[in-house]
Structure 1
Amino acid sequence: MGVKSLLNGTLAQVEKSFSPNESQFASAPNCSMNLPTLTSSGVIRVSVTFLLFIFSVSSNVTFLVIQRRKRASRLKLLLHNLAAANLVETLVVMPMDGAWNITVQWAGGQFLCKALNFLKLFSMYCPALMMVLLSLDRYLVITKPLASRAAGLHTGKYIIAATWLLSLLLALPQLWLFKMLHYTEPCAFSQCATLESFQGQWDQTVYNFFTFAFLFIVPLFIMLICNFKIINEMTKWLHPNANQIDLKRTRNGIPKARMKTMKMTIAFITSFMICWTPYYLVGIWYWFDPELHNKLPEPVNHFLVVFGLLNPCLDPLIYAYFS
């Protein structure tokens, strides 16, 4: 029940690792193997997830409370929505992951099967896309300050609202793909999965890649470009041959304040990359080696998923450090 089920031909690219291994599910009807059960490594995963849930909820709520006291700005609005996105991901993904690992089978019925898998992917899109907005905003502030100032707070509100809406639209296919599957003979077993939802391997591959691209590849590509531009501009400010305007701004302390927000943005992006890159790389590996689910030890599967769930916990700590 981990990354080994990431791309085994039924669930979409990313959300699969938050559900029991369907290769085990497929063997359930003929009882040629024991039905999947909660293992000792699964117990550790559930326990760690529960601790992360408590920490993430408390830290992100604190983050939101602190942000409300700050002076209105586009950066405050972006950080506020980033914390809200992290909180949504925490409240949906972590309890669902823990409960599903305990029950192994799906015990929530058809409605919750569709609704929760839709909310799960929605809650994973939101932080990734919000991080892209934060990166683009800081890039504009440091490289095109006049254009950034002209955009104003209201423009930022519209773009953020569009980002939440885009996350919702991208997750909508989950409502059609996921369904309850019941087996009664020779073994009683129920699961929430996308088996038989695709017409063929090509349809499934396209959807998997689409999900993977918008959850990781596109956000990572944009964030890396913005990071490079930001660091390049910051280097110019610190260069001994900087022009008189840059030197004057440095003496006035403006770049110093911006430098802190730039470093904080880079730290947010770095946290996202470190936490999720191993998880997604294993997913890519599975595309080229479908037998990976038999080769990768179960504790490694659990570790990669839990390591990814660290991301919403780290953002409030990063903000606290730079504030």
Structure 2
Amino acid sequence: MISTLTKDCVQALMTSLTSEVMDVRFLNKMHDATTTLPTPSFMDNETICGEPILSYGHVEKVLIGGVLTLLTFLTVCGNLLVVISVCFVKKLKQPSNYLIVSLAVADLSVAVVVMPFVSITDLIGGQWIFGRVFCNVFIAMDVMCCTASIMTLCVISIDRYLGITKPLTYPVRQSGKCMAKIVLFVWLLSASITLPPLFGWAQNVNDDNVCLISQDLGYTIYSTAVAFYIPMSVMLIMYYRIYRVAKVSAAKHTIAGFPKAEDEESMNCVTAVLKLQREMEECVSFSHLLRNDRKNISIFKREQKAAATLGIVVGAFAVCWLPFFLLSTVRPFICGVQCSCVPLWVERTLLWLGYANSLINPLIYAFFNRDLRTTYHNLIRCRYRNINRKLSAASMHEALKLAERPNLVL
């Protein structure tokens, strides 16, 4: 009886010990499984804030590198031509062209200081390899140069609007000192956007392989508003007002019977009147009327040209920068302030689309400015001598044509 009880107790004790051992083994397995779970993607050294690094084949890397290099080279050449043209050609040394030079310098800075480092970073997969200290300097230069370019476009739109609506008083006030102060203000305001991350308000995301502008919500709203949304709104308002002025002027010319390109009979009529004017030189009042008509036609042509130029500038600006700034605005609200959860290839594509605006700007102004276009042509063909004389001769020829032919095609 005693032996039976002893045997039962031993069996019960062994069963209990076996159960405890099984529980311990189960807990150990659970602990091992927990410790071997993959770490969150934003903590993985082989990822950038949750997004795997960019990977290219050899052919893709060569093609992308060639495109980015070509884009950088053309941006440097185009904006350098603008700076050289305005600085060394007397006819182009006008106060209003100070803004064009400021725009070209900002775009040239983007091409020289920013684009090469972004190109290298993209070609090696999106990882930042230039260190934490230079990351802050790079972000500051990137933000300042791009913002200066955008704000200069905004000021140019205001300058064009005032030149159209106040043709008699504004050119008098448009002195070199005044334009220089405006340019200085633009660059100081652009630099002010780069200061908060440098002085502790909003820290940039700066890890070993990551270099990203601060995702702080307050700083994001402030920087995007000052750098893009406010200038964009001003440009749209200025373009709308110039468009209205040009439209009203066109309506007045139509009512007054001014010649248009499609009105061949009106053009012939004006030509006949001009012949009659030459035969009747004693008719002073009639001659004075025609001179006023020529002046009005010249003003109307300038208004139409300003509206077309500013419309293309605003359109190109919106296409290039609007997608990037929309992404920059919503990204902290979606991804948080620590990193970016947006696919890296999307961010890079929109960023380079914005950089492309620095290449487009000199092309637009060269297309609509005959003097700049002529200077480009001579500089590219290495015809440095007599550029000023050629431009003066071209201006004199144009003035003679306008004096003899008021029936210009608008």
- Correspondence for 1:54: 73
Structure 2 residue corresponding to 1:144, chosen from 166, 174, 181: 166
Question: How far did 1:145 drift?
Answer: 2.9
TM-score (norm 2): 0.60
3-state DSSP class of the match of 2:45?
A: coil
- Higher mean alpha-carbon deviation, 79-88 vs 145-154, is at 145-154
1:254 aligns with 2:299: yes
Deviations 1:18-56 (A, max 9, x none): xxxxx955332899x996354357775544222210111
Aligned position for 2:210: 191
> Where does residue 119 of structure 2 map in the other structure?
98
Tell me, yes or no, if the aligned pair for 1:276 and 1:308 is still in contact at 8 Å: yes
- SS of the residue corresponding to residue 53 of structure 2 reads coil
- Give the unaligned 5+ runs of structure 2: 1-39, 259-288, 371-410
Letter in 2 for 1:264: T
Give deviations 1:241-287, integer Å, cap 9, x for gaps: 47999x74654523324543443233222211111122223344545
Change beyond 3 A, Cα 1:36–1:251: closer
Q: Which amino acid aligns with 1:178?
A: N
Structure 1 pair 260/67, CA: closer, same or farther in 2 (3 Å)? Answer: farther
Aligned counterpart in structure 2 of residue 269 of structure 1, from 314, 337, 345: 314
Deviations 1:208-256 (A, max 9, x none): 11111112111110000000001100111111247999x7465452332
Residue 178 (structure 1) shift: 3.3
The one of 90, 103, 111 equivalent to 1:82 is 103
2:186 maps to a residue whose letter is T
Contact 1:60/1:83 (8 A) holds in 2 = yes
Rounded to whole Å, the distance in 1 between the matches of 2:352 and 2:343 is: 15
* 3-state SS of paired residue (1:74): coil
For the residues of structure 2 that align with 1:220 and 1:112, how far apart are their CA atoms?
30
Equivalent pair of 1:45/1:302 in contact (CA under 8 Å): no
Alignment partner of 2:196 out of 161, 169, 173: 173
CA distance 1:88–1:281, shift in 2 (3 Å): same
SS of the residue 1:28 aligns to: coil
1:123 aligned partner: 145
Q: Tell me: CA distance 1:249–1:175, structure 2 relative to 1, closer, same or farther (3 Å).
A: farther
Post-superposition offset of 1:150: 3.6
Q: Distance in 1 between matches of 2:198 and 2:352?
A: 25
Aligned counterpart, 1:16: none
**1:320 pairs with 2:366:** yes
Matched, 1:231 2:252: no
Gaps of 5+ in 1: 1-22, 183-189, 199-203
1:306 pairs with one of 336, 341, 352: 352
Report the residue type matching 2:71 in the other structure.
L
Candidates 83, 97, 106, aligned match of 1:64: 83
Larger relative CO (CA 8 A, sep 6+): 1 or 2?
A: 1
Q: Which has the larger radius of gyration?
A: 2
Aligned to 1:5: none
Residue 307 of structure 1 and its aligned partner are, at CA, apart by 2.0
Partner amino acid, structure 2, of 1:235: K
Q: Give the Cα–Cα distance (whole angstroms) in 2 for the partners of residues 139 and 81 of structure 1.
A: 19
Identity of aligned residues (%): 25
Give the aligned length.
283
1:134 paired residue among 156, 159, 181: 156
Displacement after TM superposition at 1:135 (Å): 0.7
CA 1:181–1:286 in 2, change beyond 3 Å: closer, same or farther?
closer
Rounded Cα–Cα distance in structure 1 between residues aligned with 2:112 and 2:311: 26
Instruction: Quickly say closer, same or farther: Cα 1:166–1:66, change in 2 above 3 A.
Output: same
Structure 1 contact 128–219 (Cα < 8 Å) conserved: yes
Matched letter for residue 43 of structure 2: A
TM-score of the superposed pair, with normalisation by structure 1: 0.75
Alignment partner of 2:225 out of 213, 237, 255: 213
The alpha-carbon distance between structure 1 residues 248 and 219, as it changes in their structure 2 partners (threshold 3 A), is same
